[in-house]
Amino acid sequence: MTTTYTRNPYTRTAHTPLPIAPAVLAELRERDDAGRPCAAFVDHEGGAPLRCCLRPVAPGERIALVSYAPLRRWAAETGARPGAYDEQGPVFIHADPCAGPSRGRGGYPFSRAGALRTVRRYSAEGHIVGGRLLEIPEDEEQGFDAAFDEAFADPRVALVHVRAVEYGCFHFEVRRRDTA
């Protein structure tokens, strides 16, 4: 088995930052991963990170803050059993279906030089197998590429979650690309 990294259709980055899948978004717009009904509102200020399309909210958009369990959702797809590593937290999504990430945009989402991120690594079983603190450098794309290359150099790593340090918010995930 060899590991390859295919070019991302949404950005020109080496690794693919994944938004929340449309089917999952449809569920979250009804009831979130904590069992609460979705409560939409208009964001008059904008700026919050949208996990459905991996861009900031524009002022005046209708959004929702929902509880999301990314590792639980991934485990349901793969059969992993994360146990105590399963966690859920708040994420912003459009309150109504959106087109997802724009094709051809540059760089990684929610990236700005100097911001702090955790790059948390998970095994195929859904257990944490390491992580690191990333202070995003001036060359943001190179900083993330290096962090992901380092993570996937460990053959135990199946996926990586990127989170904000300040609030612990889930930003996006990157999965290993294996081919036979």
Query: What is the residue extent of each domain of the chain?
Result: 2-179
- Type and span of the H or E element at 22: helix 22-28
Per residue in 114-168, pLDDT tens? 999 999 999 999 999 999 999 999 999 999 999 999 999 999 999 999 999 988 8
Distance between CA atoms of 120 and 75, rounded to whole angstroms? 16
The residue type at 122: Y
User: How far lies 169's CA from each of 3, 8, 26, 81, in Å?
Assistant: 29, 23, 20, 22
pTM exceeding the 0.75 threshold for the entire prediction: yes
Nearest to 160 by CA among 174, 176, 146: 174
pLDDT tens-digit readout, 23-66: 999 999 999 999 999 999 999 999 999 999 999 999 999 999 99
Report pLDDT digits (tens) over 74-99. 999 999 999 999 999 999 999 999 99
